[in-house]
Structure 1
Amino acid sequence: MYEPIRTKSVHSTMASAGAGVPSRSREEELDIQLAGHLSALLAVTDELGLTEAGDAIAAQVARLRGMPPVRHAGLSRAGSVALHARAHALAGRALVVAASRADTSAAILAASRMDAHSAATAAS
C-alpha cells in the first residue's frame, strides 16, 4: 500500500549536524548585548563631549570585549536635549541587561548615567 521511505530524514540529519555549529552560552550572549548597548552609549556620550563619563564607559566595554573600543564620535547634529534623551534610553537598556547578567559595576555605571542624563534634560 505505502512505499517505505528510502531517504534519510531531513530532521535527523539537521539534528546530527548541530554538533558542529558554534553556540554561545547565555552569559556570552548577555556580554555581547551589554557591550553593544554600552558602545552605543559611549558614542552618544562622546558626541556630547563628556570625556570623563566616556572613559568610564569605555573601560566597561573593554572589560566585556577584552579590548578597548574604537572611539569615534560621528556627529549626528542632534540637539543636546535629544542626545541626552537618547543616552538616557541607551543607559536604561544597558541597566536592564546588566541586571539580568548580575554585573554590578556595569549596572551602577548605567544607573549613574541615567541619573546624569535625566538631570541634564531637566536642566535644559
Structure 2
Amino acid sequence: MYEPIRAKSVHSTAGATDFPHRSREEELDIQLAGHLAALLAVTDELGLGAEADRIAEQVARLRGAPPARHAGLTGADPAALHHRALALAGRALVVAASRADTAAAILSAERMDAHTAALHDAHLVGAS
C-alpha cells in the first residue's frame, strides 16, 4: 500500500552534526541554575540575606559566575512570596535529584522546610 521513502528527508540538513549539542547533565545544570536563580530573587525579596547568599553560591557554582542580584521589591504579599519560594524550591529539588547534586538538593529541601514553616507560623498554608 505504501511505497518506501526513496529520497532524503527534507528535515535533515547537510552538516547537522556540526553544531554543538548539550549533554543531559548540562541541560539539567541550566534548569537547576534557573530554578535556584528564581528562588534567589524571591528569597532576596523576603529579606532573607544569609539564606539568599547560600542560594547565590549554588547558582554561581552551576553557572560559573555569580548571579545578578535584583534589589527592587515588588511589594508582593509575604504569604504569596513564601508560596512561590516553596514551589521554586520544590522544582529545584526535583532537578537536583535528577542530576544527583547533593548540595543543591539539601539546600532546596531546607528552603522548602523553611517556607513551609513560615506559612504554618502565619497559618497561611493552602491560603493561595
- SS of residue in 2 equivalent to 1:89: helix
Shift of 1:12: 7.5
Matches within 5 A, 1:1-124: 9-11=8-10, 13-14=12-13, 16-124=14-122
Contact 1:31/1:64 (8 A) holds in 2: yes
Shift of 1:77: 1.6
- SS of residue in 1 equivalent to 2:16: helix
Letter in 2 for 1:50: L
Q: State the percentage of identical aligned residues.
A: 67
- SS of residue in 2 equivalent to 1:19: coil
Shift of 1:65: 0.4
Aligned length in residues: 116
CA distance in 1, matches of 2:65, 2:19: 26
Shift of 1:13: 4.8
Q: Which has the larger radius of gyration?
A: 1
TM-score by length of 1: 0.88
RMSD: 1.5
CA distance in 2, matches of 1:62, 1:46: 16
Letter in 1 for 2:41: A
User: Which structure 2 residue ranges, 5 or more long, are not aligned?
Assistant: 1-6, 123-128
Shift of 1:11: 3.6
- SS of residue in 2 equivalent to 1:75: coil
CA distance in 1, matches of 2:8, 2:64: 42
Of stretches 109-118 and 76-85 in structure 1, the one that deviates more from structure 2 is: 76-85
Deviations 1:31-56 (A, max 9, x none): 00000000000000000000000000
The structure-2 alpha-carbon separation of the partners of 1:80 and 1:19, relative to structure 1 and needing over 3 Å to count, comes to same
Structure (1/2) with the larger helix percentage: 1
User: Which structure 1 residue ranges, 5 or more long, are not aligned?
Assistant: 1-7
